[in-house]
A and B are shown apart, each in its own frame.
Chain A
Amino acid sequence: ETGVTQSPTHLIKTRGQQVTLRCSSQSGHNTVSWYQQALGQGPQFIFQYYREEENGRGNFPPRFSGLQFPNYSSELNVNALELDDSALYLCASSLGEGGEQYFGPGTRLTVT
């Protein structure tokens, strides 16, 4: 059984650019949730994908968007990057929307 993996590990972007982060869910899991963890803060829920449909969204603007693929892997896209987007982005997979979440190691995004 493979765990949740995320790529890349680290990323540096310039303000105004676009970024795509990737997540492979744990084997057997059909739900992926994305979180933003700013330095010194707890994770904040961005959105959740269940069976390829967005199923719940936190207080994030539309420039944060996502996809879930038939194999349940997922992408987080952020357009028009701002300095405040610098954070650790965590992906978590689960079996069903309310299932126990298993987190990946995260992608550290730095916006300069």
Chain B
Amino acid sequence: AQSVAQPEDQVNVAEGNPLTVKCTYSVSGNPYLFWYVQYPNRGLQFLLKYITGDNLVKGSYGFEAEFNKSQTSFHLKKPSALVSDSALYFCAVRDNTGGSYIPTFGRGTSLIVHP
């Protein structure tokens, strides 16, 4: 079985400050990890993914995420937040072992960036 936890329902940060949105996961085999962003009344937009290799993954719009195998975490980060980053963020995991392509999403974290 696989699961994702996003422990914070909401994250508040001032514009210009660094932001972190937390994600921890559980899979039996090797994880594929993803971050998506969802704006109101829109579908999900892909931000970045980790499959293998470098633990620091760089993605769209200046976002990056750090894969930590020992802590089973994949936190999303950005050095300097923008008001336009305010949205709903979803972490997802897929077990890459056994040929399963079914992803599991977290419940989402609402990021609010204050001017």
Name the CB-closest residue of B to A3: B43
* Cβ distance B59 to chain A, nearest Cβ, rounded Å: 12
**In whole Å, how far is A36's beta carbon from the nearest beta carbon of chain B?**
11
Number of A-B residue pairs having CB atoms within 8 Å of each other in the complex? 49
How far, in angstroms, from A101 to B35 measured CA to CA in the complex?
12
A79 to B4, CA, bound (A): 30
Assess the A102–B102 pair: CB atoms within 8 A: no
Per DSSP, are chain A's interface residues mostly helix, strand or loop, or mixed?
loop
Does residue A103 face the partner (Cβ distance < 8 Å to B)? yes
Partner of B102, one of A42, A45, A104: A45
Q: Which residues of A, 70-112, contact B by the 8 Å Cβ criterion?
A: 90, 92, 97-98, 100-106
Q: Which residues of A contact B90 (CB under 8 A)?
A: 42-43
Tell me if A8 is interfacial: C-beta within 8 Å of chain B: no
B46 touches A56 (CB 8 A): no
Query: Taking each of B4, B103, B108, which has the highest tally of chain A beta carbons within 10 Å of its own beta carbon?
Result: B103
Asked if B60 is at the interface (CB within 8 A of a chain A CB), the reply is no
Of the residues B43, B101, B108, contact of A98 by C-beta under 8 Å: B101
Interface size counted on chain A using CB atoms at 8 A: 24
Q: Encode contact with A along B33-52: 1 for CB under 8 Å, 0 otherwise.
A: 00010000111111001000
Question: Given the complex of chains A and B, what is the CA–CA distance between A98 and B107 in angstroms?
Answer: 22
Question: How far in angstroms is the closest Cβ of chain B from A102?
Answer: 7
**Are A106 and B43 closer than 8 Å at their CB atoms?**
yes
Specify which chain B residues have a CB less than 8 angstroms from the CB of A100 in the assembled complex: 46, 49
A101-B46, A102-B46 known; A42+B105 contact, CB < 8 A: yes
Min CB–CB distance B34 → chain A (angstroms):
8
Q: Which residues of B contact A (CB under 8 A)?
A: 4, 36, 41-46, 49, 90, 92, 100-108
